[in-house]
């Protein structure tokens, strides 16, 4: 080729050489098309794959773990118990503050996907609310797993977090044009109204930021996805504007939560418009129309005021709104429309009192392979095979401090699947 270029420039004009060069390139390309052109010749995105980069988790065999191989699971368990491993997996908040000073390098090094992987995903943006109060490493790995440039992400950082946590999350968020901190943060209180207010503030910010997104999903810092973005988009399209969340008749043992005022023995007044108060949880998959109603429907505004002095209102308000006539994507209050957390798409949580052996007739799910925090399973690597058998979009809880291998293998599985979908 070099010899041909030299000869051409000696005997011909520049324009003639350029035409000849273009002709040569076209002939080569046509001959390549006529041959058995392997996909290996196509544009690949190997640089987005998660490789064995020397991280402590890379010592485990993720393929075997996802298949439920007991030897691989035992080795992973032993690895997480060693002092050297526990020391290596801890990443200080200052690391993220320093690394994000060069956002371009941070995004490249951490292998964030910076372009839509398909036209289908590009045309169907999602909006996320992310409520965080600690564990920056968990947050960053969650963000990386769900990040796509066409989506929108509102991050609510609890007002009472340590300064280094806030600084690290702010630094990470600032590297992306579609990730932002909520305009008004609150001091989140367990089982109190501020937990709902945090999501409401993000809902308003997301709704006003863009008209493009189709569905809203709210998360906390210890969630992790079980589906790729494309899988979620395709499932959401089948809902035809419907919502997916837990919404059932309030069980007798929980009715006191909405009949009595928090910290008082006083009874609450009847619900506004005689709305039937339903039971659910804090996490939802909701259409843009549902969010519009939450922000503007007068009945819902009255319900919000009424709920502010209830106990754990996050486990009633979204479920109740889902059964209000006229709310986009809602269903009737009739019990035949009840949806449990197991059937909803939003979140898979393994409660300790519902666990049991494989042959148990009464157990809702198998035993936890990690540890329990407030009766919720913090997943271990041994839970992954079961988790991926379910239809839920996300699972809770994961913790890089106790079992980062569970997140590591799930990260690799989802990234490999997303890139395979791209090809």
What are the catalytic residues? 315
Question: Do 148 and 48 meet the contact criterion of CB atoms below 8 Å apart?
Answer: no
Which of 332, 243, 237 has its CA nearest to residue 283?
Answer: 243
Q: Which two tokens stand for residue 396?
A: 């809770």
Question: Do 86 and 115 meet the contact criterion of CB atoms below 8 Å apart?
Answer: no
Residue 39, CB half-sphere, CA atoms under 13 Å: how many? 5
Question: Do 278 and 319 meet the contact criterion of CB atoms below 8 Å apart?
Answer: yes
Residues 6 or more apart whose CB falls under 8 angstroms from that of 93 comprise: 136, 162, 164, 165, 167, 168
Residues 6 or more apart whose CB falls under 8 angstroms from that of 284 comprise: 216, 217, 218, 243, 244, 245, 318, 322, 346
Which of 281, 154, 232, 251 has its CA nearest to residue 394?
Answer: 232
Residues 6 or more apart whose CB falls under 8 angstroms from that of 243 comprise: 284, 285, 286, 287, 290, 322, 329, 330
Report d(CA 85, CA 261) in Å as an integer: 48
């Amino acid at each position: 080729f070099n010899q041909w270029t030299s000869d051409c420039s000696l005997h011909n004009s520049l324009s003639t050489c350029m035409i000849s060069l273009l002709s040569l390139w076209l002939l080569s390309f046509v001959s390549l098309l006529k041959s058995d052109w392997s996909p290996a010749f196509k544009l690949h995105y190997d640089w987005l794959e998660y490789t064995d980069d020397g991280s402590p988790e890379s010592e485990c065999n993720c393929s075997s773990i996802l298949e439920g191989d007991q030897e691989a699971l035992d080795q992973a368990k032993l690895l997480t118990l060693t002092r050297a491993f526990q020391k290596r997996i801890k990443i200080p908040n200052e690391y993220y503050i320093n690394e994000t000073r060069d956002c371009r390098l941070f995004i490249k090094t951490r292998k964030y996907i910076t372009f839509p992987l398909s036209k289908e995903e590009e045309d169907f943006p999602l909006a996320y609310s992310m409520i965080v109060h600690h564990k920056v490493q968990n947050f960053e790995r969650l963000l990386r797993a769900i990040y796509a440039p066409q989506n929108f992400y509102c991050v609510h950082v609890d007002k009472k977090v340590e300064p280094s946590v806030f600084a690290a999350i702010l630094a990470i968020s600032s590297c992306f044009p579609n990730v932002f901190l909520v305009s008004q943060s609150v001091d989140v209180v367990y089982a109190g109204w501020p937990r709902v207010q945090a999501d409401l503030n993000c809902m308003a910010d997301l709704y006003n930021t863009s008209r493009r997104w189709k569905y809203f999903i709210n998360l906390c810092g210890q969630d992790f996805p079980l589906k790729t973005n494309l899988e979620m988009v395709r499932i959401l399209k089948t809902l035809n504007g419907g919502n997916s969340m837990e919404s059932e008749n309030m069980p007798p043992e929980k009715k006191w939560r909405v009949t009595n005022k928090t910290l008082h023995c006083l009874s609450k007044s009847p619900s506004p418009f005689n709305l039937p108060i339903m039971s659910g949880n804090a996490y939802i998959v909701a259409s843009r129309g549902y969010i519009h109603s939450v922000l503007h429907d007068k009945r819902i505004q009255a319900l919000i005021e009424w709920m502010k002095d209830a106990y754990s209102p996050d486990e009633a308000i979204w479920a109740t709104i889902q059964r209000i006539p006229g709310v986009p994507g809602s269903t009737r209050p009739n019990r035949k429309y009840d949806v449990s957390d197991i059937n909803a798409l939003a979140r898979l949580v393994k409660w300790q009192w519902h666990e049991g052996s494989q042959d148990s007739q009464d157990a809702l799910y198998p035993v936890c392979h990690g540890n329990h925090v407030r009766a919720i399973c913090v997943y271990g690597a041994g839970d992954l095979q079961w988790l991926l058998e379910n239809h839920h979009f996300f699972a809770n809880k994961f913790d890089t401090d106790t079992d980062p291998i569970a997140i590591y293998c799930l990260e690799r599985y989802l990234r490999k699947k997303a890139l395979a979908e791209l090809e």
